Structures are given as structure tokens and as C-alpha cells.
């Protein structure tokens, strides 16, 4: 592992400027908040930056701010803090549940919300140095190889799944991501932040190398809203979702006024089920409707050679997540 310089950023603008300066000097820079993913990539020689810009030295970005419009959550807030925050638990239960399900307690204590959203894929081939699409190559080795945990939606030419637990929750909540780069500050809807491989096979989101994900704005849910996150793992800890579902339901008694459902673990981006949302709107959420919603959720799914089990699993996860969320007080 080659040596690298560590630089402490004073602000998002300063962090971006340091990345720009490194690029102009012919060097590569990468940002690190909690650093759990970045340092693993460096240690395993997947990336070899010349400069690591430390984001933890920026003040004020590990807090929650409230307004009439909703909550603004700092990108440097740890996953543990997000999962335990009283107002997030009350109003944005799906996000608290998702953050609390990620990785292990040790990693949640250091890993940040921004880092969870921007982490790189955990495909075995990418993480073991294969020259795949994500590493700048021209092949997805999983397509005809070990693809047990890969995409059943949205794949091609790369079939990775997005590893973030909090991403489906924030898409379901209609969040907006605040990004600072050389051109200043901009706001990106969560639904437009992540990109499919057919658009860009090398990257998973719209961030440039000199962009900093500063905070996340989440609108106040409407009265009667219930939300939840259901995740299936292949083991108890330090793993990503095999299949997950983030559910946000606007309820009027037992009737669904509006719904947002987003899957994790099944696609290269958080996978929104808009047809299922339309099916649920205006309906009483019964066991039968949840069963039919689960069946509709896998419309268009295409299994690879070793992950066909994900199709019935997704159907079951959607059914269970809907019923559990609807029955929450």
C-alpha cells in the first residue's frame, strides 16, 4: 500500500477545493468521513489515492436541524446516531430502522450517513481486484460467475446491487441531497442521485470526485404516515441486504391514501415500485392486497444463473413489509 497525505477539511467548500487542487497537481484525492469503506478499499489496494481529505474535521455536519419543512440531517452524522435520534425515530421510522440495521454496532458507531449512501459496491469480483466495469474494465465477471447476491432488476452491463440500507429509505421519504462542489451548492432529489450502469458503468451516483455530500433534507411526513424497513440477511451481522424493502404509507384508518415502496439488495440503485404504489392507493390494506402487491413487485425481474431465489424472496419481503408497516401504531 502506497503512502498518502491526510488533509483536514475546514468546510465542504474547503474539502472540494482540496480535491480540485490535488487534481490540478496530477494527484488523486478521496473524501473520508467515518472511513470504514474508504480505508478498506485502500488497504485492499482497490484504490490508491495520493490524498485523503478528512471530513470529520468540518463542524456542524453531524447534527439534525428542524424547520417547518422537515429535518436536515448532517451527512457526517453516524448511523448509530441517526438510528437513535428521537425525532427521526418518531417521524422517519423507516430511516431509523434502516440505519440501525446496517453492518455491526462498531461500524455504525463510526460510519456516517453520507458514507453509507456513497459507498462502493461489495461485489466479490470488484473487491478482489478484478478488472471489471466498476474498476474501469469492460466486463462484468458476475454475469456468468458468482452472482448469488447480484441484481434481478436494472442490471447490465454491470450487475452489482447498491449496498446502502439508508438509500431505499431516503428515496421512499422523498429526500433531497445537498451537495457542495467547485460550482457551489446544489440540491439533488434522492431519486436522481443514484445512476444505473447503463448510464454510467463506473460510478453509482452523480457525485464528481470533488463533490461533497453535505446533508440530507427530508420533508415532514403528512398526518397518518407510517413507515418501516424490512431486511433479509444471509447472516446476522456485517452484511448487506439480500433483499430489503423501505415502505412509507399515508394511511386513513386502514385505507392507504398514498404509498412509496423502494427495494434494496436487488438492483444497482434503490428500486422504486411505482406500479405497486398505484395499486395500493385508495385501497384497504388486507392480507390479500399485500399478497398481490408482492406478486406485482417482481414484474420484470430477471434472474441470473444463481440468484433466482431472490424473486420469491422479494415477493415475500414486500408482503411482510407492507403488513408490518400498516399495523404500526
Average pLDDT, the chain: 96
Q: What are the start and end residues of each CATH 3.30.390.50 domain in the chain?
A: 225-326
Give per-residue pLDDT as tens, 174-201. Answer: 999 999 999 999 999 999 999 999 999 9
Of 86, 90, 61, which is closest to residue 76 (Cα–Cα)?
Answer: 61
Instruction: Identify the band that residue 129 occupies on the pLDDT scale cut at 50, 70 and 90.
Output: very high
- In whole angstroms, give the CA distance from residue 99 to residue 82: 6
Looking at the predicted structure, is the pLDDT value of residue 1 above 70? no
Mean pLDDT is lowest, of 22-26, 97-101, 146-150, 325-329, for 325-329
Give per-residue pLDDT as tens, 267-303. Answer: 999 999 999 999 999 999 999 999 999 999 999 999 9
What is the pLDDT averaged over residues 251-278? 97
Looking at the predicted structure, is the pLDDT value of residue 215 above 90? yes
What is the pLDDT averaged over residues 226-252? 92
Name the CA dihedral angle for 17, 22, 26, 31, rounded to a multiple of 10 degrees. Answer: -110
State the DSSP H helix or E strand holding residue 262, giving kind and residue range, or none if neither.
Answer: strand 255-264
- C-alpha distances in Å from residue 61, one per residue of 56, 80, 95, 188: 8, 15, 18, 18
Say if domain 1-55 classifies as CATH 3.30.43.10: yes
What is the pLDDT averaged over residues 138-143? 97
pTM for the full predicted model: 0.97
Of 10, 62, 55, which is closest to residue 37 (Cα–Cα)?
Answer: 55
Pick the CATH number of 225-326 from 1.20.1250.20, 3.30.390.50, 3.40.1190.10, 3.50.50.60: 3.30.390.50
Give per-residue pLDDT as tens, 18-35. Answer: 999 999 999 999 999 998
What is the pLDDT averaged over residues 157-186? 98
pLDDT at residue number 317? 98
Work out the percent of the chain whose per-residue pLDDT is above 90: 93
147 Cα distance to chain centroid: 20
pLDDT at residue number 159? 98
Q: What are the start and end residues of each CATH 3.30.465.10 domain in the chain?
A: 64-119+160-219
pLDDT at residue number 239? 78
Q: Are the C-beta atoms of residues 55 and 215 closer than 8 Å to each other?
A: no
Give per-residue pLDDT as tens, 77-91. Answer: 999 999 999 999 999
Give per-residue pLDDT as tens, 99-127. Answer: 999 988 999 999 999 999 999 999 999 99
Instruction: Identify the band that residue 68 occupies on the pLDDT scale cut at 50, 70 and 90.
Output: confident
pLDDT at residue number 237? 66
> How many of the other CB atoms lie within 10 Å of CB of 43?
10
Architecture of the 64-119+160-219 domain: 2-Layer Sandwich (3.30)
Q: What are the start and end residues of each CATH 3.30.43.10 domain in the chain?
A: 1-55
Amino acid at each position: 500500500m502506497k503512502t498518502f497525505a491526510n488533509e483536514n477539511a475546514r468546510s465542504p467548500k474547503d474539502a472540494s477545493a482540496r480535491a480540485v487542487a490535488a487534481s490540478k497537481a496530477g494527484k488523486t484525492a478521496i473524501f473520508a468521513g467515518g472511513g470504514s469503506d474508504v480505508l478498506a478499499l485502500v488497504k485492499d489496494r482497490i484504490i490508491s489515492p495520493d490524498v485523503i481529505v478528512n471530513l470529520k474535521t468540518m463542524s456542524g455536519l453531524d447534527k439534525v436541524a428542524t424547520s417547518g419543512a422537515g429535518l436536515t440531517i448532517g451527512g457526517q452524522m453516524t448511523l448509530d446516531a441517526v438510528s437513535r435520534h428521537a425525532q427521526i425515530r418518531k417521524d422517519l421510522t423507516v430511516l431509523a430502522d434502516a440505519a440501525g440495521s446496517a453492518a455491526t454496532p462498531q461500524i455504525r458507531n463510526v460510519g456516517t450517513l453520507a458514507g453509507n449512501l456513497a459507498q462502493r459496491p461489495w461485489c466479490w469480483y470488484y473487491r478482489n481486484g478484478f478488472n471489471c466495469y466498476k474498476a474501469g474494465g469492460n466486463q462484468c465477471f458476475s454475469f456468468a460467475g458468482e452472482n448469488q447476491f447480484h441484481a434481478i432488476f436494472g442490471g447490465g452491463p454491470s450487475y452489482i446491487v447498491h449496498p446502502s440500507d439508508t438509500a431505499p429509505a431516503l428515496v421512499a421519504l422523498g429526500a433531497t441531497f445537498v451537495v457542495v462542489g467547485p460550482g457551489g451548492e446544489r440540491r439533488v432529489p434522492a431519486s436522481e442521485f443514484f445512476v444505473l450502469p447503463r448510464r454510467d458503468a463506473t460510478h453509482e451516483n452523480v457525485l464528481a470526485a470533488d463533490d461533497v455530500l453535505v446533508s440530507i433534507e427530508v420533508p415532514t411526513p403528512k398526518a397518518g404516515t407510517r413507515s418501516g424497513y424490512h431486511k433479509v440477511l444471509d447472516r446476522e451481522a456485517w452484511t448487506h441486504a439480500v433483499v430489503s424493502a423501505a415502505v412509507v404509507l399515508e394511511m386513513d384508518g386502514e385505507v392507504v391514501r398514498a404509498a412509496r415502496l423502494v427495494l434494496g439488495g436487488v438492483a444497482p440503485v434503490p428500486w422504486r415500485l411505482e406500479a405497486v404504489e398505484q395499486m395500493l392507493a385508495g385501497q384497504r390494506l388486507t392480507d390479500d392486497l399485500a399478497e398481490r402487491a408482492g406478486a406485482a413487485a417482481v414484474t420484470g425481474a430477471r434472474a441470473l444463473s444463481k440468484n433466482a431465489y431472490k424473486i420469491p424472496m422479494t415477493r415475500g419481503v414486500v408482503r411482510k413489509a407492507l403488513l408490518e408497516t400498516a399495523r404500526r401504531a
